[in-house]
Amino acid sequence: MEKYILASASPRRKELMALITPDFEIIPADVEEILPEDIYPEEASEYLAELKCRHVSRLYPGRTVIGCDTTVLIDNTILGKPRDSEDAFDMLKSLSGKTHLVITGVCICRDDKLQKFSQISEVEFYELSDDEIREYIATNEPFDKAGAYGIQGFGGLLVRSIRGDYNNIVGLPAARLKRELIAFE
């Protein structure tokens, strides 16, 4: 039996978790990701990470579970995964020429023991033309990603600069998580 459970279906998180340890299995959390109306946008990722983590932890008592959630935040507005091409276009247009935050919330739990944190990175986009946005949407990359882009793929061509942890922007702050797991044990 593996030491850790990663409560995520993300192939990107799986790759990053493998940098920390080979001793984990993937068990996605089957939960409805609904935020309380009064939550601060900066706290959304950590809230959802805890929701996922606790759900899987209840199903696997005695196991150490890691839950994660990544949000893109611009002008105090959360950009989730786009519903369709038009939504993706609007999101990318709102990011064009601006700096936004990428926040990954992480929760580690085993039974009643719980530890959580958020990692924040800043991403600045180039000024994007409508054609450039449409060309990127045509790659189909934006549709399963918060903020409608993936920095590790074609979306990296939209990025002027980053400040912070690159892996956090991908979806898992691996360096910090490794340290947090050591402290958790």
How much is the mean pLDDT over the chain? Answer: 96
- In sequence order, which ranges of 74-151 are alpha helices (DSSP H)? 85-95, 130-137
CATH fold of the domain at 4-184? Maf protein (3.90.950)
Phi, psi (degrees; rounded to nearest 5) at 108: -120, 130
CB burial readout 65-102, b (16+ within 10 A) else e: bbbbbbbbbbeeebbbebeeeebbbebbebbbeeebbb
Mean pLDDT throughout 156-176? 98
What residues are annotated to the active site? 69
Q: What is the pLDDT of residues 75-86, one digit of tens each?
A: 999 999 999 999
Q: What is the pLDDT of residues 85-135, one digit of tens each?
A: 999 999 999 999 999 999 999 999 999 999 999 999 999 999 999 999 999
pLDDT tier for residue 1 given thresholds of 50, 70 and 90: confident
pLDDT tier for residue 2 given thresholds of 50, 70 and 90: confident
pLDDT at 155: 97
> Cα–Cα distance between 144 and 114 in angstroms, integer?
28
pLDDT at 85: 97
DSSP state of 176: H
Q: What is the pLDDT of residues 133-161, one digit of tens each?
A: 999 999 999 999 999 999 999 999 999 99
The pair of three-digit structure tokens given for residue 14, joined into one six-digit string: 């799986």
